[in-house]
């Protein structure tokens, strides 16, 4: 990758540090002299999500070869549903307070409108609306990802994971998760921040009995509705696959988060009042769309 794929335009950078704060992958750092730069040791972790560029007021951040003209768009309207979809971002930096009951109720009500495969839903939602409660589980999750990192280095364990979970899951674990585990993304945590729930005060977990019909599909539709409803209310959210992965392997964690033992935790959502504003939208391309008429 060319060196200039990642750079900060120092002449215009205000050194506000928001790009560093929103980066999900520890790719950007604030140096001792207050300046902002890319961390050359972590460039391989860059997701190419464009969040650093979308929040930069002065258009001074350049990541993974992206540019403001081709890869972003100005958010001009946010009052109709399609514009709302375009302006949604995965928000990982929150104000330090849980969601108020009224906002939670509105999101719950939005989820209740999802279409579902079976005549009735089997998916249950557990909402932890307390940073303290979420924090109780963080050391266990951190420990789990540490262990997972060790398994992924062991060829025998890799074969078992492939057999039980399939090649696609093994590839995700190897290519996406392992580099982050090795860089300690999930190892360091404090009361205010952790690399798994990102310091959120609200965590929604979607789970159902292992043998219940179509619960995986239903849970993903529900979490999508929840994240869009949150955005419509000015609430930030990010879908988090790490929490269910740990929950399904740890009875202690299930006990703390009050998830029944025979339940499959499918997906989770962190939520909160966003700390920062995104100044532009990020263009996303679909892999392939074929219209046959």
Ligand X SMILES: Cc1cc2nc3c(=O)[nH]c(=O)nc-3n(C[C@H](O)[C@H](O)[C@H](O)COP(=O)(O)O)c2cc1C
Give contact residues for ligand X (rule: CB under 6 A): 24, 47, 49, 51, 89-90, 92, 238-242, 282
The minimum distance between CB 114 and ligand X, in angstroms, equals 16
Q: Which is nearer to ligand X, 98 or 281 (CB)?
A: 281
Question: For residues 48 and 65, which CB has a smaller minimum distance to ligand X in the complex?
Answer: 48
Considering the complex, state which of residue 161 and residue 242 has its C-beta at the smaller distance from ligand X.
Answer: 242
24 or 274: CB nearest ligand X: 24
| Residue number, 98 or 274, with CB nearest to ligand X | 274
Closest distance to ligand X from the beta carbon of 213 (Å): 21
In the complex, what is the shortest distance from the CB of residue 175 to ligand X, in angstroms, rounded to a whole number? 14
Q: Report the distance separating Cα 10 and Cα 60, nearest Å.
A: 7
The nearest distance, CB 26 to ligand X, in angstroms, is 11
Nearer to ligand X (CB atom), residue 31 or residue 182: 182
For residue 293, the minimal CB distance to ligand X (Å) is: 30
CA distance 209 to 111: 19
Asked if 243 and 259 touch (Cβ cutoff 8 Å), the reply is: no
Nearest-approach distance from CB 92 to ligand X, in angstroms? 6
Distance between CA atoms of 172 and 293, rounded to whole angstroms? 35
- Of 112, 58, 121, 107, nearest to 231 by C-alpha is 107
- The answer to whether 209 and 264 have CB atoms below 8 angstroms apart is yes
Nearer to ligand X, 121 or 180 (CB): 180
* 202 within 8 A of 271, measured Cβ to Cβ: yes
- Tell me which residue of 76, 28, 74 sits closest to 49, measured CA to CA: 28
Distance (Å, rounded) from C-alpha 226 to C-alpha 229? 5
Minimum Å gap between C-beta 47 and ligand X is 5
């Amino acid at each position: 990758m060319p060196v200039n794929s990642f750079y900060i335009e120092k002449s215009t950078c205000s050194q506000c540090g928001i790009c560093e704060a929103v980066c999900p992958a520890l790719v950007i750092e604030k140096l001792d002299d207050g300046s902002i730069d890319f961390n050359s040791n972590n460039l391989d972790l860059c997701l190419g999500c464009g969040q650093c560029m979308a929040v930069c007021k002065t258009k001074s951040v350049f990541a993974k070869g992206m540019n403001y003209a081709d890869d972003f768009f100005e958010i001009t309207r946010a009052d109709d549903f399609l514009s709302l979809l375009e302006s949604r971002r995965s928000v990982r930096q929150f104000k330090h307070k849980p969601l108020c009951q009224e906002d939670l109720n509105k999101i719950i009500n939005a989820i209740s409108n999802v279409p579902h495969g079976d005549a009735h839903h089997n998916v249950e939602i557990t909402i932890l609306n307390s940073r303290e409660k979420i924090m109780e589980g963080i050391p266990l999750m951190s420990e789990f990802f540490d262990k997972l990192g060790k398994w992924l280095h062991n060829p025998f364990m890799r074969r078992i994971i492939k057999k039980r979970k399939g090649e696609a899951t093994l590839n995700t674990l190897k290519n996406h998760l392992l580099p982050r585990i090795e860089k300690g993304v999930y190892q360091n945590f404090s009361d205010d921040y952790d690399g798994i729930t990102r310091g959120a005060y609200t965590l929604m977990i979607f789970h159902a009995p292992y043998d219940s019909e179509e619960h995986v599909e239903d849970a993903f539709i529900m979490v999508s509705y929840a994240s869009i409803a949150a955005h419509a209310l000015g609430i930030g959210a990010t879908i988090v696959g790490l929490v269910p992965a740990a929950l399904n392997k740890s009875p202690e964690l299930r006990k703390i988060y009050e998830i029944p033992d025979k339940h499959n935790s499918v997906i989770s959502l962190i939520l909160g009042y966003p700390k920062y504003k995104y100044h532009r939208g990020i263009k996303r391309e679909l892999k392939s769309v074929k219209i046959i008429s």
